[in-house]
Amino acid sequence: MAHAPETIDAYLADHAARFEGQLFELLRIPSVSAQPDHNADTRRAAQWVRDDLIALGVPAELIEFDSGHPIVYGERLDAPGQPTLLIYGHYDVQPPEPLEPWLSPPFEPTVRDGNVYARGATDDKGQMFTHLKAAEAWLKTVGRLPVNVKFLIEGEEEVGGKNLEAFLAAQTRKLACDYAVISDTSQFAPGLPAITYGLKGLAYFELRVQGANRDLHSGTFGGAVQNPLNALCQILASLKGADGRIQVEGFYDDVRPLEDWERAAFAQLPFSEADFAADLGVAELFGEVGYSTLERKWARPTCDVHGLWGGYAGPGPKTVLPCKAGAKFSFRLVPDQDNRTIAQAVRRHIERHTPPGVTWELEEMHGAPAVLVDTTTPGFAAATRAIETAFGTRPVFIREGGSIPVVGLIKQHLKVDTLLLGWGQNDDNLHGPNEKFSLADFHRGIRASAHLMAELAG
Ligand code: BES
Ligand code: ZN
């Protein structure tokens, strides 16, 4: 079974419209894992995915936890001696807010210009669903899958839930596999599919700074006590130099330098820094000195402030000397940086750079290691061929700046690499208003997944 039989391609063509209808059904369920008001909807999405797996021929169940959202698990192990794929995806979505910029409501999937617009369209319902429909095509035509497949679809990806790690750690035998497969990344550009071989890690913090025991008049008390908002700004400003280099002592110690072949390969990709800047509406790009934009986006660590509060930001002036201030900020990490080592270095940096007269607290909110996957495995080659068949173009091999913590957990607990086969586009607005997913890419993704199963079968 070196190639997916033509009957599979025919089945995909015959059922394309129904697949879209089913995807729209799933997209109508507002499974916003972060919002307790949507707990019942989030569970409904889990049940929907479980029921579809069962309907297409994969026995599946909900795995329940004391708190949080269930995992959908299903498996079909009818190819003894053949490789086993662990297909991971998530059925939860980011909050849709702010609602005002959405051109159509986030949970009313709407097709415009060949794209379906809805929260979760690309991240990750649409991408995840491609693998279910690929399995369906095999099961409804050939009657079995050419490889063993385990589906692990979680509902806490967008909230960094802990249930999945507990499940992975406890069920290493049940989840044993040769490759994990995740479609939760992007192609390089429209018409240019990609396999992602590197993701960034993350060290995410909240810093709270406290000054006096109450808000004060800035005339009466200014010059007498430290202002925690000024102090916070000083601390944040000390993190990064004007040259884009991070100033935290020891921060670059474990950074693996870009390889020459990698720099050459990135430089070969069709990417215009000028067009990129124009699309974003900025007069010039900015990042660490000495590196190209793709190198900085994909393979150099970064530091960004995400939010900042304190004092008065309402209409009109208020001459307040606030008593507290806070900020959220993070570092995207690259191999071989360790997020715990970085957290210690950040703590020491804040100790050294906090001006007198305030106290502070640092909370570590998210941590994930960066990943690089082996590009020389038979699975990587099989994925390359399957994508070339389905998309009509050989994929390029890229890194991404985003983080998918489960990839590191899979490596740690199951000892396997993940094939990151993204069907999305960089402008899909994941996490933002008007999230979309190309329906043509949805169908190509299904076909690539079906062919991957055939390519992996010996
Ligand atoms: N699918 C994204 C990760 C991603 C984005 C990969 C863009 C490649 C390109 C994922 O759902 C996500 O948003 N991850 C978070 C992880 C974090 C909350 C721990 C991220 O990268 O911010
Ligand atoms: Zn996401």
Q: In a mutational test of the pocket of ligand 1, which residue from 184, 195, 204, 205 has the highest number of ligand atoms less than 8 Å from its CB?
A: 184
Distance 358 CA to ligand 2 centre (A): 36
Determine if ligand 1 sits within 6 Å of the CB of residue 328: no
Q: Which percentage of the chain shows pLDDT scores above 70?
A: 99
pLDDT of 1 higher than 80: no
Are 239 and 116 part of one and the same domain? no
Distance 403 CA to ligand 1 centre (A): 5
pLDDT band at 2 (very low <50, low <70, confident <90, very high): very low
pLDDT 10s digits, 265-294: 999 999 999 999 999 999 999 999 999 999
Let me know: does 70 contact 46? Beta carbons within 8 Å: yes
Dump strand ranges (E) for 139-290: 148-154, 179-182, 194-199, 201-210, 216-217
Q: How many CB atoms lie within 10 A of CB 440?
A: 13
Residue 212 domain-assigned (yes or no): yes
Q: Which atom of ligand 1 is nearest to the CA of 431?
A: 13
Distance 416 CA to ligand 1 centre (A): 20
Measure CA 234 to chain center.
31
pLDDT of 5 higher than 90: no
Distance 181 CA to ligand 1 centre (A): 16
Q: Taking residues 86-115, what's their average pLDDT?
A: 98
Are 210 and 161 part of one and the same domain? no
Residue 284 domain-assigned (yes or no): no
Are 335 and 354 part of one and the same domain? yes
Are 394 and 249 part of one and the same domain? no
Are 362 and 232 part of one and the same domain? yes
In this structure, the residue with its CA closest to atom 9 of ligand 1 is: 402
Query: Mutual orientation of helices 163-170 and 405-414 as an angle, nearest 10°?
Result: 20
pLDDT band at 3 (very low <50, low <70, confident <90, very high): low
Distance 424 CA to ligand 2 centre (A): 12
Q: In a mutational test of the pocket of ligand 1, which residue from 206, 418, 430, 437 has the highest number of ligand atoms less than 8 Å from its CB?
A: 430
Residue 437 domain-assigned (yes or no): yes
The residue count of the chain comes to 458
State the total domains in the chain.
2
Distance, CA of 142 to CA of 439 (rounded, Å): 25
Last residue of a domain, one of 310, 335, 368: 368
Determine if ligand 1 sits within 6 Å of the CB of residue 184: yes
Last residue of a domain, one of 368, 393, 417: 368
Residue 278 domain-assigned (yes or no): no
- Cα of first residue to Cα of last residue in the chain, in angstroms, is 8
Are 215 and 154 part of one and the same domain? no
Q: CA 118, 119, 122: angle at the middle one, nearest 5?
A: 85
Q: Which atom of ligand 1 is nearest to the CA of 200?
A: 21
pLDDT 10s digits, 103-133: 999 999 999 999 999 999 999 999 999 999 9
Q: Taking residues 380-393, what's their average pLDDT?
A: 98
Contacts of 314 by beta carbon, 8 Å cutoff, 6+ apart: none
Distance 199 CA to ligand 1 centre (A): 9
Determine if ligand 1 sits within 6 Å of the CB of residue 33: no
Determine if ligand 1 sits within 6 Å of the CB of residue 186: yes
Q: What is the pLDDT of residue 160?
A: 86
Contacts of 322 by beta carbon, 8 Å cutoff, 6+ apart: 211, 215, 227, 228, 229, 310, 311, 312
pLDDT of 458 higher than 90: no
**Three-state SS at 190:** coil
Determine if ligand 1 sits within 6 Å of the CB of residue 398: no
Measure CA 330 to chain center.
15
Distance 27 CA to ligand 2 centre (A): 15
Ligand nearest to the CA of 120: 2
Q: Taking residues 363-372, what's their average pLDDT?
A: 93
pLDDT 10s digits, 30-77: 999 999 999 999 999 999 999 999 999 999 999 999 999 999 999 999
Amino acid present at 78: D
Residue 141 domain-assigned (yes or no): yes
Last residue of a domain, one of 310, 333, 368: 368
What residue spans of 219-332 are helical by DSSP H? 228-237, 260-268, 273-280, 293-299
pLDDT of 389 higher than 70: yes
Q: What is the mean pLDDT of the chain?
A: 97
193-197, 256-260, 311-315, 365-369: the lowest-pLDDT one: 365-369
pLDDT of 4 higher than 70: no
Determine if ligand 1 sits within 6 Å of the CB of residue 400: yes
Kind and range of the H or E element at 388? Answer: helix 378-391
Determine if ligand 1 sits within 6 Å of the CB of residue 203: no
In this structure, the residue with its CA closest to atom 4 of ligand 1 is: 402
Q: Which structural domain, as residue segments, surrounds residue 15?
A: 6-199+370-457
Are 56 and 25 part of one and the same domain? yes
Determine if ligand 1 sits within 6 Å of the CB of residue 156: no
Are 80 and 96 part of one and the same domain? yes
Residue 329 domain-assigned (yes or no): yes
Quote the tokens at residue 158: 């967008």
Distance, CA of 293 to CA of 296 (rounded, Å): 5
Residue 50 domain-assigned (yes or no): yes
Determine if ligand 1 sits within 6 Å of the CB of residue 120: no
Distance 100 CA to ligand 2 centre (A): 21
pTM greater than 0.85: yes
306 backbone φψ class: left, alpha, beta (φ>0; ψ -120 to 50): alpha
Q: Taking residues 158-171, what's their average pLDDT?
A: 94
Are 156 and 222 part of one and the same domain? no
In this structure, the residue with its CA closest to atom 7 of ligand 1 is: 402
What SS3 string covers 57-89? CCCEEEECCCCCCCEEEEEECCCCCCCEEEEEE
Quote the tokens at residue 446: 């299904």
In this structure, the residue with its CA closest to atom 6 of ligand 1 is: 402
Are 435 and 347 part of one and the same domain? no
Distance 158 CA to ligand 2 centre (A): 6
Q: Taking residues 187-216, what's their average pLDDT?
A: 98
Determine if ligand 1 sits within 6 Å of the CB of residue 337: no
pLDDT 10s digits, 319-361: 999 999 999 999 999 999 999 999 999 999 999 999 999 999 9
The helices-and-strands tally (H runs, E runs) of the chain is: 13, 18
Residue 145 domain-assigned (yes or no): yes
- Residue among 207, 201, 202, 229 nearest 349 (CA): 207
Q: Taking residues 407-422, what's their average pLDDT?
A: 97
Determine if ligand 1 sits within 6 Å of the CB of residue 130: no
Determine if ligand 1 sits within 6 Å of the CB of residue 370: no
Distance, CA of 289 to CA of 296 (rounded, Å): 9
Q: Which CATH number is 94's domain given?
A: 3.40.630.10
Q: Which CATH number is 242's domain given?
A: 3.30.70.360
Distance, CA of 259 to CA of 198 (rounded, Å): 13
Are 50 and 168 part of one and the same domain? yes
Distance 422 CA to ligand 2 centre (A): 13
In the 8-state DSSP scheme, what is residue 429? -
Distance, CA of 382 to CA of 377 (rounded, Å): 9
Distance, CA of 158 to CA of 457 (rounded, Å): 33
Contacts of 399 by beta carbon, 8 Å cutoff, 6+ apart: 196, 197, 198, 199, 298, 299, 372
Are 338 and 423 part of one and the same domain? no
